[in-house]
Amino acid sequence: MRLIKVAAAVLNTTPLAWDANRKAIVDAIHEARRQQVAILCLPELCITGYGCEDAFLSSGTQAMAQKLLLELVPETQGIAVSFGLPLLHRGALFNTAALAVDGNLLGIVAKQHLAGEGIHYEPRWFKRWPNNAREQVEIGGQALPFGDLLFDVGDVRIGFEICEDAWVANRPGAELAERGVDIILNPSASHFAFGKHGVRQRFVLEGSRAFSVGYVYSNLVGNESGRAIYDGGALIAQAGRMLAAGPRFSYADSAVTSATLDIDEIRMGRARTGSFRPLIGDPNDNVVRFPFQFQKSSYVVERPQPLPWEVGPDLKEEEFARAVALALFDYLRKSRSRGFVVSISGGADSAAVSLLCAMLVEFGIAELGREQFLAKLSYIPQLIDASDNRAVVRRLLTCIYQSTKNSTETTLNAAQAVADGIGAEFHQFDVDQLVRDYVTMVAKALGRDMTWEQDDLALQNIQARVRSPGVWMMANTRQALLLATSNRSEAAVGYATMDGDTSGGLSPITGIDKAFLRHWLRWMESTGPAGDRPHPELALVNVQPPTAELRPHESHQTDEDDLMPYDVLDAIERSSIRDKRTPLETLWHLRETFPQYDLKQSGFWVRRFFTLWCRNQWKRERFAPSFHLDDENLDPKTWCRFPILSGGYERELNDLDAWVMANLP
């Protein structure tokens, strides 16, 4: 047996944070060396950070990336390490992985397939490298092979699939296998989305089986640059067997997952495969050879165990809690904010945002311990002597209930119960006099009294808007981050007051629909994440129908009366925006999903959705940054582009009305 210990590192990087990225990389190399690893795969573009965006096109970024690469190469004594960085060549920029072995930089591989859909815009900055092309590039005065390469290091052949390369049908791995590669390294920056980790596991397993190789997959972790969340989850497989799987949603800056590969078994497995056809006499022998004596590895049979929360029926609920909590933690510390402020209404949205802020404390301390967790927030002076988890939450999170005459004891009690249950600081502001002052001022200018019959929208909106200055002021005095509380369903139809409930520097739940959010809060009330606890205080929130509480009590205002049932709204949104169906096609789909509603009612809701969707694109353009969670994102800056001004589906909606009238009983 020829045994090689390999490892994948998961790193929490930040764009252009050169020293922090360097430290995370060096820490990972040192940990790999401690584990007696021979080959270490680091994530994609780990030197610069993946999310540099147009800063990739700066000559300064290119120069600094090469400088750091040269600083890091000496760290590879006795080990092989891949580093990710952008590289300018022949006037074009390429996304690359450089392989260094035993203090020597051997060559640089360029990515062949670029991610250009969803939140990815790689073709804006990078060019695809052509298959089988090889040139030279100079770094630090050294001429290096560059392009579509594989490496023969101590008679072990190493090839690369860089992130997207493994997601396409014509994966480079197939040709690498024909060229006799033993190990494929996959340095990735693969963002989190619900259920996506299972897809990664499949292509890692299938790649290792179909190509008869050892496969090493690394990834980023945390909130790297603001919107995308990375879940880590390093994977190592051989011949269709998963040998090791790393943790997900870690609060550590780096983590190394290792496993032992049997090179002889890999080669004999390929020899036993009847369909395998080696590439003989390859005229494009793009092999970089380097003599190196790998240290002997002891044979250890790794059996990856799923994390406790990854088994069972509640995976989406667990992933939502852990992804958003980690993203909030990283956003807090990377923006150097000193805490969070939430305008808590007693309803579902603000309760969820507040709860997620508290959960980052629970999860982070459970993993790192209080001392190491607080060390990551050492710039926040009020945390110095926080004695327990509740004290940390109280000093990080301020919840403020802002009442008018249309507010009720029900929502006040719910808001206070949630704040008390999670340990947040709680305040009540009475803003009713401010509302009356604005109404009086505008009525005087109009020369008439303002009434609910004539001025419904204006009278509702002023109550939401007048709540903004106070919470902004509180956030400013504490150098804290004000969190907006709008969800995706309401963003789709503009059921949010600009400069009111949309106020904030970050909008953590704008990427999730209201129907799931309400379900998640019920789950949090009764069950809660693995290793944490349920929150029975949420019963006071969950028992209420969602309401903005902006009209007088006698109107019995609810969100679903104003709009439509949230599960219907989410189904229409999914059909029309994600799946790009016309209004009439959306109606047909809705009728199959919700046959209990009559045709006239369903048609009205579809028309209402499309009308409000088009009318309110300008609002979505102004929302604070939000986190990406799935393929139903409405963020116009990263996922779902739509014109601010449009024809509003006028002809399509007329077709809808005509079909409904023709088919009424």
CATH code, domain with 614 = 1.10.10
CATH of the domain at 428: 3.40.50.620
Residue 21 belongs to some domain of the structure: yes
Same domain? 616 vs 551? no
- The reported pLDDT for the residue numbered 302 is 65
89 and 220 together in one domain: yes
What whole-number distance in Å separates Cα of residue 191 and Cα of residue 120?
10
Q: For residues 586 and 281, give the distance between their C-alpha atoms in angstroms, rounded to a whole number.
A: 57
304 inside domain:
no
Report the C-alpha gap between 42 and 56 in whole angstroms.
19
Q: Tokens 């209080």 label which residue?
A: 370
Domain end marker among 299, 325, 360: 299
473-491 per-position pLDDT tens digit: 999 999 999 999 999 999 9
Q: Is residue 94 part of a domain?
A: yes
Q: What is the DSSP string of 537-550?
A: GGHHHHTSPP----
Residue 607 within a domain: yes
Model pLDDT, residue 295: 81
Tokens, residue 217: 């997959």
C-alpha–C-alpha distance, residues 431 and 332, integer Å? 28
Which bin fits 471, alpha (ψ -120 to 50), beta or left (φ > 0)? alpha
Are 98 and 177 part of one and the same domain? Answer: yes
Contact 81, 40 (CB under 8 A): yes
| Residue where one domain finishes, among candidates 540, 559, 578 | 559
Sign, CA dihedral 42-45-47-52, equals negative
Tell me which residues of the chain have a pLDDT lower than 70.
274, 282-284, 298-302
Last residue of a domain, one of 268, 299, 330: 299
The predicted pLDDT at position 273 comes to: 80
Residue 306 lies in a domain: no
Regarding whether 319 and 214 lie in a shared domain, the answer is: no
Task: Give me the phi and psi of 214, to 5 degrees please.
Answer: -85, 135
Together in a domain, 293 and 315: no
The answer to whether position 305 is within a domain reads: no
Same domain for 418 and 547: yes
For residue 138, the cross-strand partners are: 143
398 with 334: CB under 8 angstroms? no
45 domain residue, yes or no: yes
Q: Based on the domain organization, do 180 and 194 belong to the same domain?
A: yes
Query: Nearest 10 degrees: CA dihedral of 188, 192, 193, 199?
Result: 40
Same domain, 551 and 593: no
| Mean of pLDDT over the chain | 94
Task: Verify that 555 and 572 share a domain, yes or no.
Answer: no
Same domain as 403, residue 523 = yes
Q: Exposed/middle/buried for 204, CB within 10 Å: 0-12, 13-18, 19+?
A: buried
User: Mind listing the pLDDT tens digit for each residue in 324-337?
Assistant: 999 999 999 999 99
373, 393, 394, 399 from 387: Cα distances, Å? 13, 11, 11, 21
CATH code of residue 243: 3.60.110.10
Closest CA to 232 of 222, 242, 244, 243: 222
Task: List, in order, residues 6 or more apart from 427 with CB less than 8 Å away.
Answer: 398, 399, 400, 401, 474
User: What are the angstrom distances between the C-alpha of 303 and each of 19, 235, 633, 643?
Assistant: 35, 12, 36, 51
Instruction: Give the helix/strand (H/E) hosting 629.
Output: none
Q: Do 471 and 606 reside in the same domain of the chain?
A: no
Q: Are 141 and 166 in contact (CB under 8 A)?
A: no
Within 496-638, where are the H helices?
A: 514-526, 539-542, 559-562, 566-573, 583-593, 599-615, 617-622
Return the beta strands (E) in 247-358 as ranges: 254-262, 287-290, 340-343
Domain that holds residue 570: 564-665
Domain-located, residue 161? yes
Are residues 323 and 428 located together in one domain of the fold? yes
As for how many domains the chain has, the answer is 3
Q: What is the pLDDT of residue 301?
A: 63
Residue 334's pLDDT is 98
Distance CA 618, CA 641 (A): 11
